Amino acid sequence: MPALEPQLRPAAVHNDTLVEIADVAFKYGDRPVLKGINLTARRGQVIAIMGSSGCGKTTLLRLIGGQIKPSQGTVRVAGESVGDLDQAGLYRLRRKMGMLFQFGALFTDISVFDNVAYQLREHTDLPENAIRDLVLLKLHAVGLRGAAQMMPSELSGGMARRVALARAIALDPQLVMYDEPFAGLDPISLGITGNLIRRLTDTLGLTSLVVTHDVQESLKIVDYVYFVSEGVIVAQGTADEIRNSGLPYVHQFVHGEADGPVPFHYPAAAYADDLRLGGQRA
């Protein structure tokens, strides 16, 4: 397999909005998770959504996919308001979406080939010979055509993630969403996965939304970044703008610093007071 070298991309003008999130709020019960989010993703872009655990990143993906509905605002995909669609309309819209779940989420009891073929068999009337050709094409695109008859248990973590990516693009979607695609990968697999996301986005002209904690790998491939904290977007910009941001939260996140707006110590009484009280109890 040839090396996947980063490629210089010509500057592009993106006029075609595929995903538009406008003033969206969402809560689980009485607990607010998102509070007035605004986000736009255009065709041909790789967009990263970053932030600390529990800040609402994956909730955004669930809103886009129609698993949940916003309590306020509008989520539009390909010009359609996701929250207003009936079941048939939602299923039709989902045909335009692909999803790469965290750690791949392959079906463990069927082969690599059948994992990728699954959507084609469920959602199309294509003959089996056409499905075979399409599956091999998708596996070839991620460098795993030779692994078609292997079982998921025989794959490394990086290979499993690439099979999941082949499955995500099986129906030629307009939008692919990635939930922590770099989690648990070794440096080689991590680099390959990042470059695949970029190259497939460019080649297929789709839109990629990447929820991730991996700042350095993501900034190599993205067009734009949204930082979410406590349910709101606290920063946004290009990769260079994010790297050079003077905002304390973004600086701490990008550089992995222990202390900052997100403190190292969980709130507690003064350490000296705890020691003194402990001595008194003794």
Tell me: the pLDDT tens digits for 127-146? 999 999 999 999 998 888 88
Q: Which domain holds residue 260?
A: 17-96+173-281
> How do residues 6-64 score in pLDDT, each as one tens digit?
333 433 444 588 999 999 999 888 888 888 889 999 999 999 998 777 677 888 889 99
Asked whether residue 154 is domain-assigned, the answer is no
pLDDT higher than threshold 70 for residue 268: yes
258 within domain boundaries? yes
Residues 179-230 have pLDDT tens digits of 888 877 778 888 888 888 898 899 888 999 998 877 888 888 899 999 888 8
Per the document, the length of the chain is 282
Confidence of residue 265 (pLDDT cuts 50, 70, 90): low
When pLDDT is cut at 50, 70 and 90, the band that residue 247 belongs to is confident
Is 152 within the bounds of a domain? no
β-pairing, 224-229 vs 232-237, is antiparallel
- Asked if the structure places residue 227 within a domain, the reply is yes
Domain at 68, CATH number: 3.40.50.300
pLDDT in tens, 75-106: 999 989 998 899 999 989 988 898 888 766 88
- Name the more confident of 256 and 159: 159
- Residue 6 or residue 122, greater confidence: 122
CA dihedral for 80, 82, 87, 93, sign (positive or negative): positive
pLDDT tier for residue 3 given thresholds of 50, 70 and 90: very low
So what's the pLDDT on residue 12?
A: 42
Kindly state whether residue 79 falls inside one of the protein's structural domains: yes
What pLDDT is stored for residue 5 in this prediction?
39
- Please write down the long-range contacts of 111-114, taking CB distance under 8 Å and 24 or more positions apart: 111/148, 111/149, 111/150, 111/151, 112/139, 112/144, 112/147, 112/148, 112/149, 112/150, 112/151, 112/152, 112/155, 112/163, 113/139, 113/148, 113/149
Q: What is the number of domains present in the chain?
A: 1
pLDDT band, very low/low/confident/very high, at 280 (cuts 50, 70, 90): low
182: in domain: yes
Is 9 part of any domain? no
Q: Is residue 87 part of a domain?
A: yes
pLDDT of residue 224: 92
